[in-house]
Every structure is written in C-alpha cells, then in structure tokens.
C-alpha cells in the first residue's frame, strides 16, 4: 500500500553531514531550549526518499562509535548493519558509503511555507502516535522493550500544533502521506515484526539528526527561529539513542539470518514513506 508516486529527494541526515554541529543552550522567543550535541552523523541512520526498486541485501560497515552490544553472526551489532544499508542510500557527497546520484536541491534552497510545514507536523504526529501505540500494545511481546524510550514525539507535536493554533493558524486534517504510512505500520506490526522494527529504527533515529537540522533550517526561514518541542528531548539524546541501540541489538540477537536480511530489505520503503512526509515542507 504505497502512497502516490512523486519525485525523490535526499534524506534529512544528509543535512547533518553538511551543517550539524554541537549546540549550546539558547533561548528562543518562547522558551529555553537545550539541544544535546548528537553522535557523529556517520553513525546514525538516514531517512531519504528513493523509489522502491526491490530487494536489498545486508551491507557491512565499520562502527564509528559503538558501546558494547550483542553481535550478529558476523560479529557486527545488528544496528550497524541497519545503519550501513541506510548509508548506502546516500549520495557520495553525503557519505563515503553513498551510492546514489543527487536528486534534489539542498534544504538551503527550499522555500517552505507555514501551511506546508503544518501538514508535515500533522502527518508526523499521526505516524508517531501509531508507533507509540504499537509498542504500548505489544502484540509481539518484545515490542514492549521500545516503550517509553524518551524518543517519543507525539505529545511534543501536540503542544507545537496548539502553539500554531494560538498564533492564528488553521491546523489541517491528516492527509494521505501520514495516514497511509500509519496504516502500513499497523499492518506490519501485526504480520511482519522484523519489517516494523526497520521503520521504528529509521523514523526515530533520522529525526534526531537530519530531521532536527531540517527543523532548524525551516524555523530560520519561516518561524523567526522559533524552536519547537518536536526537536527537544529530556535528558541526553545520545544516551537515549544508545539505550535503544542496545535493545535493538538484543532483540535481533534471537533472529535468524533470514529475518535480519528481511528487516534490512525494508529500508528503502522506510525512506520512501518518510520522504513523502518531508515533501509537505517544500510543496
């Protein structure tokens, strides 16, 4: 069940490679913001939009930074395999492992609108709500391992949308990119847990890196540098991410090689659905 076809764009993590640097605590017009400096981008996954071209195979990569974790059959933590497949969907100028040709202008050339950004936030809220509901419901018992990780975003998005409403903006209803993706996640969660985990990983990890940089760039252009709750976390983001990495590696340690490969094969679809949400911002 794929969303309407459209042109491809580079993933949000590409921005982090170009512009990401540690941020200090600073004050916006609305509230104090502390953004913890992230891990090096090379060790994070990417959400990029690419056409679905069929099956992929697991790719090897060297961990740029990795705490001790359960290793796969080849001695590599499974999250590093997930990262490696994602990195190969970059262009060469975005990552050494990249193999794709550039397909879109950089974010610095985007001309976002508040209306388009609101559509992105509304649809993102639908997706994050579904991810949170799935792990809380835990129809697969080990989904419960990923509840209350500190990476959850739906409540933050709810606050941000209320802030926009108080500024006089009309909040749109969810649209096809968000509802289609949420329905797909619900279907996977019931029938294909390995594929679901691929989406869980890429959505959350992408948002903490390239997604955060997109938010910063958009804020500079249309929100007078207002920093939204969507891009703030309680505690140390790097540690929150590492906690989830450890859980992902532990869960995947019980999977067969075929189940791991199946998870990796879902990466391009994950990027495509996430890219459909991002397209709201500049169209």
Asked whether residue 194 is assigned to any structural domain, the reply reads yes
pLDDT of residue 75: 72
Structural domain harbouring 280: 127-283
Asked whether residue 180 is assigned to any structural domain, the reply reads yes
Asked whether residue 201 is assigned to any structural domain, the reply reads yes
Q: For the domain that residue 263 is a member of, what is the CATH number?
A: 1.20.910.10
Asked whether residue 38 is assigned to any structural domain, the reply reads no
pLDDT in tens, the chain (283 residues): 444 433 334 444 444 333 333 333 333 333 333 333 333 333 344 343 333 323 332 322 322 333 334 444 457 899 999 999 988 876 565 556 656 665 666 777 889 999 999 999 999 999 999 999 999 999 999 999 999 999 999 999 999 999 999 999 999 999 999 999 999 999 999 999 999 999 999 999 999 988 999 999 999 999 999 999 999 999 999 999 999 999 999 999 999 999 999 999 999 999 999 999 999 998 7
Asked whether residue 43 is assigned to any structural domain, the reply reads no
Q: State the number of CA atoms in the 13 A half-sphere of 32 facing the CB.
A: 4
pLDDT of residue 245: 98
Asked whether residue 73 is assigned to any structural domain, the reply reads no
Record the pTM: 0.74
Query: What's the domain count of the chain?
Result: 1
Asked whether residue 121 is assigned to any structural domain, the reply reads no
Asked whether residue 183 is assigned to any structural domain, the reply reads yes
């Amino acid at each position: 069940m794929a969303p309407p076809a459209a042109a491809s764009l580079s993933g949000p993590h590409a921005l982090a490679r170009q512009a990401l640097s540690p941020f200090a605590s600073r004050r916006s017009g609305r509230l104090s913001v502390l953004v913890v400096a992230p891990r090096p981008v090379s060790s994070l996954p990417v959400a990029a939009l690419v056409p679905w071209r069929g099956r992929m195979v697991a790719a090897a990569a060297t961990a740029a930074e990795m705490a001790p974790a359960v290793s796969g059959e080849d001695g590599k933590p499974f999250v590093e395999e997930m990262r490696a497949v994602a990195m190969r969907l970059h262009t060469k100028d975005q990552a050494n492992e990249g193999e794709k040709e550039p397909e879109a202008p950089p974010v610095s050339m985007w001309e976002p609108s508040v209306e388009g950004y609101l559509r992105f936030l509304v649809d993102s809220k639908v997706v994050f709500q579904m991810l949170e509901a799935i792990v809380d419901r835990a129809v697969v018992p080990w989904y419960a391992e990923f509840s209350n990780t500190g990476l959850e975003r739906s409540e933050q998005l709810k606050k941000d949308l209320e802030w926009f409403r108080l500024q006089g903006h009309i909040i749109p209803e969810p649209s096809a990119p968000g509802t289609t993706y949420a329905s797909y996640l619900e279907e996977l969660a019931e029938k294909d847990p390995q594929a679901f985990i691929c989406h869980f990983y890429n959505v959350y990890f992408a948002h903490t890196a390239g997604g955060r940089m997109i938010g910063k760039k958009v804020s500079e252009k249309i929100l007078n540098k207002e920093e939204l709750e969507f891009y703030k976390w309680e505690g140390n983001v790097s540690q929150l991410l590492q906690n989830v990495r450890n859980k992902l590696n532990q869960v995947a340690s019980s999977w067969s090689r075929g189940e791991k490969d199946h998870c990796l094969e879902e990466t391009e679809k994950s990027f495509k659905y996430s890219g459909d949400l991002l397209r709201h911002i500049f169209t």
